[in-house]
């Protein structure tokens, strides 16, 4: 798989997994961003589910219900590699798969998690509303504050989005870390739009997720908020490395600020 991102050619080489199950839980991790420990824990917590893990790391042992898919990653940003698999489920998942659940690599599914709660019998895609922010402009401010993308990219994003959707804040905001989808043409259309936004605008997928949902007209099911605490736990990434830090001294200072607050929140949580 090859594509262009901000003027550079990107390459990912992998074999499409072909599990013999209709539903899978999958994730991806590159450059040791969160490591493999969380997906292994998830597989152990939910032994009746099939898990798939795309990675450039080597796993020497894992549960029998976890299928590891090696990836040769030649991208300029490890986050971009993971997002390719996150967004393009209909292309990356083969075999008998009819629906899937994506979880970020810093998440652990809890014991007792039930696929029946995902609501896919009612819709093509199931999402949680964002638990901290409720609109795109608030997410944009967060991305700027912690240098999660360059100012140039974010300015380009907002200037172009205004042409498509003047009142973009009406679209709300979703969590991008927990995403359940069917495998069909409507979802493929949605994923194509979302991926084009990542390549053309910002690498922050939560910024463009509401826009892709709205533009594709995909049939959406809003998951109940209380289900999130019952379904998964979010842990800290092993790394905090955003490419935006390299673009200027000002961005580097904002990156250091974000790194400090991230590490501080880790100790607060543990305490």
Q: How confident is the prediction along the chain (271 residues), in pLDDT tens digits per residue?
A: 999 999 999 999 999 999 999 999 999 999 888 889 999 999 999 999 999 999 999 877 899 999 999 999 999 998 999 999 999 999 999 999 999 999 999 999 999 999 998 989 889 999 999 999 999 999 999 998 888 888 999 999 999 999 888 799 999 999 999 999 999 999 999 999 999 999 999 999 999 999 999 999 999 999 999 888 889 998 865 554 544 445 556 555 655 665 565 555 555 554 4
Total residues found in the chain within this entry: 271
Token readout for 181 is: 């989808």
The reported pLDDT for the residue numbered 86 is 98
Q: How far is CA 225 from CA 64, 103, 220, 231, in A?
A: 31, 16, 15, 10
Task: Check: CB of residue 89 under 8 Å from CB of residue 191.
Answer: yes
How large is the C-alpha radius of gyration of the chain?
Answer: 18
Q: What residues form DSSP beta bridges with 127?
A: 179, 222
The reported pLDDT for the residue numbered 261 is 57
181 conformational bin, left if phi > 0, alpha if psi -120 to 50, beta if neither: beta
- Rounded to 5 degrees, φ, ψ at 108 are -125, 120
Closest residue by Cα to residue 227 from 194, 181, 180, 266: 180
CATH class of 2-134+174-239: alpha beta
Task: Check: CB of residue 178 under 8 Å from CB of residue 101.
Answer: yes
The reported pLDDT for the residue numbered 34 is 86
Which residue's entry shows tokens 């997928």? Answer: 205
The Cα–Cα gap between 21 and 47 comes to 13
The reported pLDDT for the residue numbered 270 is 44
SS3 assignment for 19-65 = CCCCEEEEEEECCCCCCCHHHHHHHHHCCCCEEEEEECCCCCCCCCC
Greatest CA span in the chain, whole angstroms?
51
Q: How many helices (H) and strands (E) does the chain have?
A: 9, 12
The Cα–Cα gap between 20 and 6 comes to 38
- All residues at 6 or more sequence positions from 61 whose CB lies less than 8 Å from its CB, including other chains: none
Token readout for 116 is: 């029946």
């Amino acid at each position: 798989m090859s594509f262009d991102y901000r003027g550079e050619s990107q390459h990912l080489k992998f074999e499409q997994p072909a599990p013999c199950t209709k539903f899978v839980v999958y994730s991806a991790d590159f450059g040791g961003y969160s490591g493999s420990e969380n997906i292994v824990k998830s597989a152990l917590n939910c032994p009746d589910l099939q898990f798939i893990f795309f990675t450039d790391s080597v796993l020497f042992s894992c549960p029998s219900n976890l299928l590891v898919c090696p990836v040769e990653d030649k991208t300029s940003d490890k986050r971009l590699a993971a997002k390719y698999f996150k967004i393009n489920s209909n292309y990356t998942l083969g075999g008998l798969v009819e629906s899937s659940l994506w979880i970020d690599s810093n998440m652990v599914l809890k014991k007792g998690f039930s696929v029946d709660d995902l609501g896919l019998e009612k819709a093509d895609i199931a999402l949680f509303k964002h638990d901290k922010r409720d609109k795109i402009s608030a997410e944009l401010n967060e991305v700027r504050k912690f240098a999660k993308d360059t100012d140039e990219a974010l300015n380009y994003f907002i200037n172009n989005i205004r042409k498509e959707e003047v009142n973009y804040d009406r679209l709300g905001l979703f969590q991008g870390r927990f995403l359940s989808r069917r495998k069909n043409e409507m979802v493929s259309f949605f994923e194509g739009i979302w991926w084009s936004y990542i390549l053309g605008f910002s690498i922050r997928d939560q910024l463009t997720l509401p826009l892709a949902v709205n533009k594709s007209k995909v049939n959406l099911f809003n998951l109940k908020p209380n289900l999130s605490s019952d379904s998964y736990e979010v842990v800290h990434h092993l790394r905090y490395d955003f490419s935006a830090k390299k673009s200027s001294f000002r961005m580097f200072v904002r990156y250091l600020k974000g790194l400090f607050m991230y590490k501080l929140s880790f100790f607060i949580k543990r305490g």
